[in-house]
Chains A and B, each alone.
Chain A
Amino acid sequence: MRESMEFDVVIVGAGPAGLSTACRLMQQAQKAEREISICVVEKGSEVGAHIFSGAVLEPRALIELFPDWQERGAPLNTPVTSDEIYLFQDAERAKKIPNSLVPKSMHNEGNYVISLGNLCRWLGEQAEAMGVEIFPGFSAAEILYTDEGAVKGIATGDMGVGADGNQKGSFMSGMELHAKYTVFSEGCHGHLGKQLIDKFNLDADADVQHYGIGIKELWDIDPDKHKPGLVVHGAGWPLEKGTNGGSFLYHGDNNQVVVGLVIDLSYSNPYLGPFDEFQRMKHHPVFKQTLEGGKRVAYGARAITKGGLNALPKMCFPGGLLVGCDAGTLNFAKIKGTHTAMKSGMVAAETIFDALSADDQGGRELSAFTEALQNSWVYEELHRTRNFGPAMHKFGTFWGGAFNYLDQNWFKGKLPFTLRDNKPDYAQLKEASECKPINYAKPDGKISFDKLSSVFLSNTNHEEDQPCHLQLKSKVVPVESNWAIYNGPEARFCPAGVYEFVEDAATEQMQLQINAQNCLHCKTCDIKDPSQNITWMTPEGTGGPNYPNM
Chain B
Amino acid sequence: MKILVMVKRVSDPNVTIRVNADNSDVDLNNVKMALNPFCEIAVEEAVRLKEAGIASEIIALSIGSSQSQEQLRTALAIGADRALLIESDTALEPLIVAKLAAKVIEEEQPGLVLLGKQSIDTDNSQTGQMLASITGWSQGTFASKLEINGDKINITREVDSGLQTICLNMPAVVTCDLRLNEPRYASLPNIMKAKRKPLVTKAAEEYGVDLAPRIRTLKVETPNIRQGGEILSSVAELVEKLKTEKGVI
Known contacts A118-B30, A548-B31; A457 and B16 CB within 8 A of each other: yes
Binds B, one of A13-21, A167-175, A225-233: A167-175
What are the residues of chain A within 8 A of B217 when measuring CB–CB? none
Q: Are A5 and B189 closer than 8 Å at their CB atoms?
A: yes
What are the residues of chain A within 8 A of B21 when measuring CB–CB? 220, 255
Which chain B residue lies CB-closest to A550? B30
What are the residues of chain B within 8 A of A169 when measuring CB–CB? 182
Q: Are A461 and B188 closer than 8 Å at their CB atoms?
A: no
What are the residues of chain A within 8 A of B29 when measuring CB–CB? 254, 549
Q: How far, in angstroms, from A117 to B32 measured CA to CA in the complex?
A: 12
Could you say which of B32, B182, B185, B189 contacts A49, with CB atoms under 8 Å apart?
B32
Q: Are B187 and A459 closer than 8 Å at their CB atoms?
A: no
Q: Are A156 and B188 closer than 8 Å at their CB atoms?
A: yes
Please tell me if B18 contacts chain A, counting CB pairs below 8 Å: yes
Interface of B is mostly: loop
Known contacts A45-B32, A548-B30, A548-B31; A459 and B188 CB within 8 A of each other: no
What are the residues of chain A within 8 A of B93 when measuring CB–CB? none
Q: How far, in angstroms, from A138 to B187 measured CA to CA in the complex?
A: 9
Please tell me if A449 contacts chain B, counting CB pairs below 8 Å: no
Could you say which of A3, A177, A255, A548 contacts B32, with CB atoms under 8 Å apart?
A548
Q: How far, in angstroms, from A156 to B191 measured CA to CA in the complex?
A: 14
Which chain A residue lies CB-closest to B32? A546
8 Å CB interface, A23-69 against B: 45-46, 49
What are the residues of chain A within 8 A of B34 when measuring CB–CB? 45
Please tell me if B12 contacts chain A, counting CB pairs below 8 Å: yes
What are the residues of chain B within 8 A of A45 when measuring CB–CB? 12, 14, 32, 34
Write the B1-40 contact mask toward A (1 if CB under 8 angstroms, else 0): 0000000000010111010010000000111101000000
Q: How far, in angstroms, from A254 to B29 measured CA to CA in the complex?
A: 11
Please tell me if B203 contacts chain A, counting CB pairs below 8 Å: no
What are the residues of chain A within 8 A of B185 when measuring CB–CB? 159-160, 170, 172
Which chain B residue lies CB-closest to A121? B30
Question: Whole-angstrom distance from the CB of B70 to the nearest CB of chain A?
Answer: 9
Size bin of chain B's contact surface: 20 to 34
Known contacts A45-B32, A546-B32; A459 and B15 CB within 8 A of each other: yes
Question: Whole-angstrom distance from the CB of B232 to the nearest CB of chain A?
Answer: 24
8 Å CB interface, B197-243 against A: none
Question: Whole-angstrom distance from the CB of A540 to the nearest CB of chain B?
Answer: 9
Please tell me if B246 contacts chain A, counting CB pairs below 8 Å: no
Q: Are A461 and B14 closer than 8 Å at their CB atoms?
A: yes
Which chain B residue lies CB-closest to A118? B30
Q: Are B187 and A297 closer than 8 Å at their CB atoms?
A: no
Q: How far, in angstroms, from A339 to B14 measured CA to CA in the complex?
A: 31
Q: Are A546 and B182 closer than 8 Å at their CB atoms?
A: no
Q: Are A138 and B16 closer than 8 Å at their CB atoms?
A: no
Write the B165-199 contact mask toward A (1 if CB under 8 angstroms, else 0): 00000000000000000111101110110000000
Q: Are B189 and A3 closer than 8 Å at their CB atoms?
A: yes
What are the residues of chain A within 8 A of B16 when measuring CB–CB? 456-457, 459
Known contacts A45-B32, A46-B32; A172 and B184 CB within 8 A of each other: yes
Contacts across chains A and B counted by CB atoms under 8 Å = 55
What are the residues of chain B within 8 A of A170 when measuring CB–CB? 182-185
Please tell me if A379 contacts chain B, counting CB pairs below 8 Å: no
Q: How far, in angstroms, from A143 to B32 measured CA to CA in the complex?
A: 30
Q: Are B12 and A297 closer than 8 Å at their CB atoms?
A: no
Q: Are A175 and B187 closer than 8 Å at their CB atoms?
A: yes
Question: Which among A117, A295, A546 has the highest number of chain B CB atoms within 10 Å?
Answer: A546
Q: How far, in angstroms, from A115 to B31 measured CA to CA in the complex?
A: 13
Please tell me if A133 contacts chain B, counting CB pairs below 8 Å: yes
Q: How far, in angstroms, from A169 to B184 measured CA to CA in the complex?
A: 9
Please tell me if A403 contacts chain B, counting CB pairs below 8 Å: no
Question: Whole-angstrom distance from the CB of A471 to the nearest CB of chain B?
Answer: 23
Question: Which among B12, B30, B31 has the highest number of chain A CB atoms within 10 Å?
Answer: B30
Which chain A residue lies CB-closest to B191? A135
Question: Whole-angstrom distance from the CB of B192 to the nearest CB of chain A?
Answer: 7
Question: Which among B16, B29, B192 has the highest number of chain A CB atoms within 10 Å?
Answer: B16
Known contacts A297-B18, A459-B15; A5 and B188 CB within 8 A of each other: yes
Q: How far, in angstroms, from A45 to B12 measured CA to CA in the complex?
A: 10
8 Å CB interface, A343-375 against B: none
Q: How far, in angstroms, from A170 to B185 measured CA to CA in the complex?
A: 7
Question: Which among A117, A118, A297 has the highest number of chain B CB atoms within 10 Å?
Answer: A297
Question: Whole-angstrom distance from the CB of B12 to the nearest CB of chain A?
Answer: 6
Q: Are B32 and A459 closer than 8 Å at their CB atoms?
A: yes
Which chain A residue lies CB-closest to B15? A459
Q: Are B188 and A138 closer than 8 Å at their CB atoms?
A: yes
8 Å CB interface, A100-153 against B: 115, 117-118, 133, 135, 138
8 Å CB interface, A213-272 against B: 220, 254-255
Known contacts A46-B32, A548-B30; A172 and B18 CB within 8 A of each other: no
Q: How far, in angstroms, from A133 to B16 measured CA to CA in the complex?
A: 29
Q: Known contacts A45-B12, A46-B32, A170-B183; can you find 16 more A-B pairs with CB under 8 A? A: A45-B14, A115-B30, A118-B30, A133-B192, A135-B188, A135-B191, A160-B185, A172-B184, A175-B189, A220-B21, A254-B29, A297-B18, A546-B14, A548-B31, A548-B32, A549-B29
5 nearest A-B pairs in the assembled complex, by CB-CB distance = A548-B30, A461-B14, A549-B30, A459-B15, A159-B185
CB-defined A-B contacts under 8 Å, sample of 7: A3-B189, A156-B188, A220-B21, A459-B32, A546-B14, A549-B29, A549-B30
Tell me the B residues contacting A by CB distance below 8 Å. Answer: 12, 14-16, 18, 21, 29-32, 34, 182-185, 187-189, 191-192
Tell me the A residues contacting B by CB distance below 8 Å. Answer: 3, 5, 45-46, 49, 115, 117-118, 133, 135, 138, 156, 159-160, 169-170, 172, 175, 177, 220, 254-255, 295, 297, 456-457, 459-461, 546, 548-549
